[in-house]
Chains A and B, each alone.
Chain A
Amino acid sequence: MNPLPVTDADLNAYVDGQLAASRVAAVEEAFARDPAMAARVADAKRHNADLRDALDPWLADPIPERLLAAAARQPKATRKPVRRWLVPAAAVATGLAVGLGTGWYTRDIQLERAGTPTTFTRQAALTHALYAADVNRPVEVWAPEEKRLVAWLSKRLGFAVTAPDLNSSGFALVGGRLVAGHENPTALFMYENADKQRLSLQVRKQRVEGGEVAFRYAVENGVGVFYWIEDNCSYALSGNIDRAQLLAVGRSVYGQLAALESSSKQ
C-alpha cells in the first residue's frame, strides 16, 4: 500500500511534534529517500530548539509591578458612565419604538452585554470630533470615488459596507476613511449639510453575546451618538446636531440598511 505523499504540512507538523503518530513512519521513510528534505527538517528542528534556548531565559525575568496590578485588577462593580447614559437611552428607546414602529428593536438587553458600548460611543464621538473638525482632510477618499472607497473599506473590514444616501435628510457624502477600532477596524463615512454641519457614520464588526442591541443615544463630550448593533455589526451615527435631527438621519440610515439586508437575502 502506498502511503500518501509527504506534504509541507506534514513536515512542519513533524518539526513541531504535532504530526499524527500514524504519519510519522511515512515521513521518516521519505527522509531516507530524500536527503535534502531531511536536511531541511533537521534545520527547522534545530531552529526550534535554538529559539527556545534563546527565549526561555526571558521567562525568568521579574514581572513588573504594573503588570501584577493589572492581573489582580478586579473591575469595579458599577461604572458611573453606564448609569449616566442609561437614563436618556431608555427615554429615547421608548420614543423610537413609537416613532419607528417595527423597524427598531427595543429589546431590553443590558448595555454591558454588548461588549462595552460605552467604549464604542466614546470612541465614536472622539473619532467624529477629530475628523469632522479637519477642514482640509476629514476623509481619506472623497465622495467622487465612492465606489473605490466602499470596495476598499469592505476589503479592510472583511464584509460588505455601503455608504447610505442621506441626501433626503440634507446631508451629502463627503467621503470616508478607515479608523482603528476597539478590536476591529472601523469604517467611517462623513456627511455634510448646506450649513457645513458634519455627521459621521461608523461601522465595524462586533460579535455580540445575546443578539442585537437596541438603538441607544448618548452624548459624549458634546457630540451626540446614536448607537446600535445588528447582525454582528455595530453602528454609530455621531454629530453636533440636535437629537431629533440626528434621530431622523439615523432612521434613514437604518431603513436603508434594512432594505439592503432584505434584498440581499431574497
Chain B
Amino acid sequence: MPAVADPPLPQPDLLAAIPRLRRYARVLTGDVNRADDLVQETLARAWEKRRLWAAGTDLRAWLFTIMHNVFVNQRALARREKLQLSLDDGGEGNEAWQIPVRAAQYTRVELIELMQHVGRLPTDQREVLLLAAVEELRYEEIATVLGIPIGTVMSRLSRAREKLRNAFADAPSGSASLKIVK
C-alpha cells in the first residue's frame, strides 16, 4: 500500500518558532546544549507527527506541546537512569537548577536576581509562568500545551508569583551572594 503523502509543515512558521522554542527550552533545562537537543528532538517529532497538526491552527502552541512532552519523558528517563527514586515520590521538578546568566546581557541587577529566583521555581510552575508572561499564550493554550486543566494553570501561576514575590522580600536586592558568570 502506497504511503499517503502528508502536507509539509509551513517552513516560515517553523523557522520563526525556533528562537522561541530555544528560549523556552533554555529556561526549562538550564543548559544551552541540552536546550538545543530538546528543540532538535521537538522538530523531528513535529515532522513525524505532522498529520496531527491541524493546518491553520497555531503552529507555535503545537510545537510547545510536543516539546513539553519530550521534556517530561526525557526527565523521567534521566531520573530512572540516575537513581532509583522511591516509588511514591512524585518529586516533579524540585531539583536545584540555575539559569545560565551572562553578565553582559543584563543591565540591571534585578534581572539577574529575578532569573535566579525563576530558576528555583519547581519546573511545573516555571513552565506556566514562562508561557504566560514571556510567550504570552492564552491560559487555554497553556492548559493544552501542558495537558492540564485550566484551574491547575491558574493555581500554578498564582503559586509561582507568590514565590517570586516572597523571594524578593526575603533577599533584598543588591545582596552580595549573587554569582555572575562572565
B27: nearest residue on chain A (CB-CB)?
A55
Given contacts A16-B133, A74-B8, A61 and B110 within 8 Å (CB-CB):
no
Residue in contact with B111 in the complex, picked from A54, A68, A74, A152, CB distance below 8 Å: A54
Residues on B with C-beta less than 8 A from A185 are 73, 76
Contact of A44 with B11 in the complex, beta carbons under 8 Å? no
Given contacts A12-B154, A183-B73, A185-B76, A59 and B19 within 8 Å (CB-CB):
yes
B118: nearest residue on chain A (CB-CB)?
A51
Residues on B with C-beta less than 8 A from A57 are 105
Interface residues on B, range: 35 or more
Residues on B with C-beta less than 8 A from A72 are 11
Residues on A with C-beta less than 8 A from B168 are 43
- Which DSSP category, helix, strand, loop or mixed, fits chain B's interface? helix
- Report if B164 contacts A (CB, 8 A): yes
- Report if B22 contacts A (CB, 8 A): yes
Contact of B40 with A77 in the complex, beta carbons under 8 Å? no
Residue in contact with B48 in the complex, picked from A13, A71, A75, A180, CB distance below 8 Å: A75
Q: Mark B46-78, 1 if CB is under 8 A from A, else 0.
A: 011101100000000000000001100110110
Q: Mark B116-131, 1 if CB is under 8 A from A, else 0.
A: 0010000000000110
Q: Which of B1-50 contact A (CB under 8 A)?
A: 1, 3-5, 8, 11, 14-15, 18-20, 22-23, 26-27, 36, 39-40, 43-44, 47-49
Q: How far is the CB of A13 from chain B (nearest CB, A)?
A: 7
Q: How far is the CB of B97 from chain A (nearest CB, A)?
A: 16
- Which DSSP category, helix, strand, loop or mixed, fits chain A's interface? helix
User: Interface segment, A21-29, A110-118, A257-265?
Assistant: A110-118
Total interface residues on A, CB under 8 Å, equals 55
Contact of B114 with A47 in the complex, beta carbons under 8 Å? yes
Given contacts A13-B139, A47-B164, A70 and B40 within 8 Å (CB-CB):
yes
Given contacts A72-B11, A140-B87, A180 and B18 within 8 Å (CB-CB):
no
Given contacts A18-B139, A57-B105, A71 and B15 within 8 Å (CB-CB):
yes
Where the two chains meet, the residues of A that have a C-beta atom closer than 8 Å to any C-beta of B are 8-9, 12-13, 15-18, 40, 43-44, 47-48, 50-55, 57-61, 63-64, 66-68, 70-75, 77-78, 82, 86, 110, 112-113, 115-116, 140-141, 152, 179-185, 209
Where the two chains meet, the residues of B that have a C-beta atom closer than 8 Å to any C-beta of A are 1, 3-5, 8, 11, 14-15, 18-20, 22-23, 26-27, 36, 39-40, 43-44, 47-49, 51-52, 69-70, 73-74, 76-77, 80, 84, 87-88, 105-106, 108, 110-111, 114-115, 118, 129-130, 132-134, 136, 138-139, 154, 157-158, 161, 164-165, 168
Q: List 13 A-B contacts (CB under 8 A).
A: A16-B133, A18-B139, A47-B114, A50-B110, A51-B134, A52-B134, A59-B23, A61-B19, A70-B43, A70-B44, A74-B47, A140-B84, A140-B87
